[in-house]
Structure 1
């Protein structure tokens, strides 16, 4: 196996924002800035590359709504996966975290509180 440097080719998503509301998907959504990568994803996993008009794609220019419910991937260790959770209300984001740290609102930023025991 050869050693290579990692470069972001795209991101896999389980959902998206549709008309400002979160939408869970039944198949994988892939976003990328590379038109060729979007075309290759569509060729491997189904779907059509199209402009990524929604948010939640981290600003990546293209999206592919694949036809696959599952995908086999090879990851470069546990740090290759990130979770990002957002609780939205009628006025926007109420809470945002990555499972370890609070990301917003600003007054709550930092490590999440851990309960060592429950009385």
Structure 2
């Protein structure tokens, strides 16, 4: 015997779940490697290991799925025509951050800026300098950890496509991270838990002239338009 409740209310019958919906199906990038050096982009770049996902990305954000030379599984890339992507987070835990120093064989140092967060020394003082400028200078020299901010989210334009990961070591975003985390936490608290968070991942154009007259121009990642909703991808009731 099986339930027949959907016969009397077919409009309420749950839709079949996508084969991708709970998987990480791709990555979002603000740059790419050329033959000689990294290249910052003004529109988002997506990579995936599935051609169908790449084609859907192109439909949503422009661009063309194409194979690129890589030894990683995500060998399909889409150079989109969009600098703004709406995302949906399952909760505050979808945004994670730490300070990391990588070596040839893996992570040498991982901390939150005050205490180690991995390995045998977890919970012990990490010994990083207190001053922000000193931290940044050491990271640029390769002698100290740099930010690693990770966001796991669905695309607001097609939530059932699956999860995408965005990772950045942006020091500019790090300066705003506490405000972003607070906004996400406050939105979740206002919705009394169990909510999803909507936000926009953007590449913002920055342009200014230094005191010496040098013109500086670049694109920086930003997380904006943070709001919460209580409805789930599949309603439980």
The CA RMSD over aligned residues, in Å, is 2.9
Gaps of 5+ in 1: 84-98
Query: 1:17–1:54: 8 Å Cα contact kept in structure 2?
Result: no
Q: Which residue of 2 aligns with 1:25?
A: 41
Q: Aligned partners of 1:9 and 1:108: how far apart in 2? A: 25
Q: Which residue of 1 aligns with 2:110?
A: 111
- How far off its partner does 1:114 sit? 5.3
Q: Aligned partners of 1:77 and 1:20: how far apart in 2? A: 39
Query: 1:14–1:27: 8 Å Cα contact kept in structure 2?
Result: yes
- Pick the structure with more helix per residue: 2
Q: Aligned partners of 2:33 and 2:104: how far apart in 1? A: 20
**When the two structures are superposed, what TM-score results if normalisation uses the length of structure 2?**
0.36
Q: Which residue of 2 aligns with 1:101?
A: 100
SS of 1:27's partner is: strand
Instruction: Return 19-28 or 105-114, whichever deviates more.
Output: 105-114
* 1:62 paired to 2:76: yes
**Cα–Cα, structure 1 residues 8 and 68, in superposed 2: closer, same or farther, change >3 Å?**
same
SS of 2:24's partner is: coil
Q: Aligned partners of 1:108 and 1:51: how far apart in 2? A: 29
1:39 pairs with one of 47, 55, 65: 55
**Cα–Cα, structure 1 residues 107 and 45, in superposed 2: closer, same or farther, change >3 Å?**
closer
Instruction: Return 99-108 or 62-71, whichever deviates more.
Output: 99-108
**Count of equivalent residues:** 99
After superposition, what is the alpha-carbon deviation per residue over 1:49-106, rounded to whole angstroms, capped at 9, x for unaligned? 0002257xx54110000000111011233454567xxxxxxxxxxxxxxx42222255
SS of 2:42's partner is: strand
Q: Which residue of 2 aligns with 1:96?
A: none
Gaps of 5+ in 2: 1-13, 112-125, 132-237
Q: Aligned partners of 2:49 and 2:94: how far apart in 1? A: 19
User: Of the two structures, which has the highest relative contact order with CA contacts closer than 8 Å and spacing of 6 or more?
Assistant: 2
- Pick the structure with more strand per residue: 2
